[in-house]
Structure 1
Amino acid sequence: MSDEFTDDAKAPGRPAFTDFHLEAGRAAGGPYALDIDPERAGWGYSSLRVLHLPPGGRHSFATGGSEWIVLPLSGGCTVVTDTAETFELAGRESVFSGVTDFAYVPRDAQVQITSGAGGRFALTGARCERRLPARYGPAPAVPVELRGSGNCSRQVNNFAAAGTFACDRLIAVEVLTPGGNWSSYPPHKHDECRPGQESELEEIYYYEIDAAHGKEGVGYQRVTPSGHGRGTDVLAEVRSGDAVLIPDGWHGPSIAVPGHTMYYLNVMAGPGATREWLICDHPDHGWIRDTWPDQPVDPRLPLYEAPAGDAR
């Protein structure tokens, strides 16, 4: 299986999204099960694609004016650039089974992804100015953070957080929330540039919900207007394969229903001169952080840790 695809800006005639909650399949495009780019989202920087490859499948694309990270969701693959860098990604069984390795590919490059056994792969992207070297991100080097406590406990895999892995503009992390817990809480925003206090970042949430007893799970996502930007207002029941666009607004909570672990992949980028994640808590709910030191972290966490090995 071979596909060719060019940079977002060179693919005319693709309709813009008319709302912020994109149910699974509705944002498909070309070879991608999910295809979000700046034109369709109506913003300037952040992109996300989800690619399904059958056994023996391959896919080629031009990075254009964006930097990208190839992140296995399930399965492994080989990533090859037009300058002969080759990265063998072991991948993982699923997003609920472990931390994965990944590959960074720069803007203005041709890339091929092949998978002998097949799998699903996220391509997290951001328009950028600098062309950084292509690099491999080993799973043992991914910082696994436990954030919050009590029923606000969640796990964050900081594979491309600011300060963790060098990118020009792209920030990307994975969050796992045990069933019954709230994450992205307290509600927070990053839709203004306030040096030292808040960064302006567009954000994409992509969800997978762990099945239990043979049943599909659901989760819930809330976004409320902050007085800036488009006045984003979302109350969505989300399922595996869904995405939510957050150009602005107070986002949170992200709620995992009892019995089903929620995974989401966050992709962020913005116009700031410095690549940083600075947030502002909602003034009505930020007090909840003061209660966390008196509560234990959910004993179900971590769901897994980064594997031991060479972190170089």
Structure 2
Amino acid sequence: MSNVSTEFHLRAGEAAAGPYALDIDPKRAGWGYSSLRVLDLPPGGRHSFATGDSEWIVLPLSGGCTVLTDGGDGGEFFELTGRESVFSGVTDFAYVPRDAQVQIASAAGGRFALTGARCERRLPARYGAARDVPVELRGTGNCSRQVNNFGAAGTFECDRLIAVEVLTPGGNWSSYPPHKHDECRPGEESELEEIYYFEIAPAHGTDGVGYQRVSPSGHGRGTDVLAEVRSGDAVLIPDGWHGPSIAAPGHTMYYLNVMAGPGETREWLICDHPDHGWIRGTWPDQPVDARLPLYQAPAGDAR
């Protein structure tokens, strides 16, 4: 399948750089704030990086790791239990501030997302327990999906970074109705750059695919994307109506959302597409998909 545009759809491996399987920074994306890196570590592997002018959350996608920070204030050490995969459970995570040195090490190896945002304030390094991650079921019927709000505004303190995980059962639509957040309209809409990173659950010997649509809103760069997405792909959304994200029947779709923007207040305020917002009115009459939740946050701290 071809895309309306390939500028904003990065297939697995296309944005690899150095140790990262995926490396999206503001310069690569052509915007001002949001970043995402995906790091694969072999057993016994280590990786060090400087946070620079950005805050970061280290999020295990598979496997566990330790995170050591040294920012001139004594540093912090966190042990992340992690998880088998994004389809198996909620994970713990670590927040590391700007202007710090960070080392990630994994005894058994694994895959780790580094979600980042340029910021002004230097907040303290912190551990985020899996048990404290709010798991939300959003939508009903074939619009049902699960949202793990580990780095949502109002859930975990950051300066600018907003990050959540979304799991969509096979055959369902998420990021629906299409919505946007590309204008600053106090109390109505916040201006946020966004990255979608995808993983698709394999089934019956096939890797599976999903689909992502972004259509122009009349603002910004006129983002226009129709992408067939596979595990390891990313879609950049500087502006535009984004959605639906469609999971092929039989294959659960996972995506990691990373957002940040110039607003003085860290908040996620969206505007529904006027042609499709009516779908929300049908949700109270339908049950949530019985396959959800795929899993809950653990009752205790697994550290």
Instruction: State the TM-score, normalized to the length of structure 1.
Output: 0.94
Correspondence list, 1:90-105, <5 A: 90-105=81-96
Give the corresponding residue for 1:138: 129
Maintained 8 Å contact 1:141/1:311: no
Give the corresponding residue for 1:87: 78
Give the corresponding residue for 2:140: 149
2:277 aligns with one of 279, 286, 301: 286
2:261 aligns with one of 237, 262, 270: 270
Change (3 A) 1:18 1:210: closer
Aligned residues: 296
Mapped partners of 2:20, 2:11: distance in 1: 14
Could you give the per-residue CA deviations for residues 68-117 of structure 1, whole angstroms, max 9, x where no partner exists? 00000000000001133000000000000000000000000000000000
Could you give the per-residue CA deviations for residues 148-168 of structure 1, whole angstroms, max 9, x where no partner exists? 000000000000000000000
1:145 maps to amino acid: E
Give the corresponding residue for 1:218: 209
Q: What secondary structure sits across from 1:108 in the alignment?
A: coil
Mapped partners of 2:302, 2:101: distance in 1: 27
Instruction: Decide which moves more: 79-88 or 101-110.
Output: 79-88
Maintained 8 Å contact 2:144/2:172: yes
Note the residue ranges of structure 1 that are not aligned, 5 or more in a row: 1-16
Give the corresponding residue for 1:3: none
**What's the offset of the Cα at 1:311?**
10
Correspondence list, 1:143-292, <5 A: 143-292=134-283
1:131 maps to amino acid: R
Maintained 8 Å contact 1:191/1:202: yes
Answering whether residue 40 of structure 2 is matched by residue 52 of structure 1, we say yes
1:195 maps to amino acid: P
Q: What secondary structure sits across from 1:96 in the alignment?
A: coil
Mapped partners of 1:71, 1:130: distance in 2: 21
Could you give the per-residue CA deviations for residues 180-206 of structure 1, whole angstroms, max 9, x where no partner exists? 000000000000000000000000000
Give the corresponding residue for 1:29: 17
Give the corresponding residue for 1:6: none
Mapped partners of 1:247, 1:215: distance in 2: 32
**What's the offset of the Cα at 1:43?**
0.1
1:309 aligns with one of 297, 300, 303: 300
Mapped partners of 1:283, 1:133: distance in 2: 41
Answering whether residue 121 of structure 2 is matched by residue 121 of structure 1, we say no
Mapped partners of 2:198, 2:262: distance in 1: 25
**What's the offset of the Cα at 1:309?**
1.2
Give the corresponding residue for 2:54: 66
2:180 maps to amino acid: K
Mapped partners of 2:49, 2:98: distance in 1: 11
Instruction: State the TM-score, normalized to the length of structure 2.
Output: 0.96
Q: What secondary structure sits across from 2:281 in the alignment?
A: helix
Mapped partners of 2:40, 2:12: distance in 1: 13
Q: Between the two proteins, what is the percent identity of the paired residues?
A: 89
2:215 maps to amino acid: T
Give the corresponding residue for 1:40: 28
Mapped partners of 1:203, 1:52: distance in 2: 22
Structure 1 ranges of 4+ moved more than 4 A:
none
**What's the offset of the Cα at 1:297?**
0.2
Could you give the per-residue CA deviations for residues 194-236 of structure 1, whole angstroms, max 9, x where no partner exists? 0000000000000000000121110000000000000000000
Maintained 8 Å contact 2:8/2:225: yes
Change (3 A) 1:234 1:18: closer
Pairwise CA RMSD of aligned residues? 1.3
**What's the offset of the Cα at 1:310?**
4.4
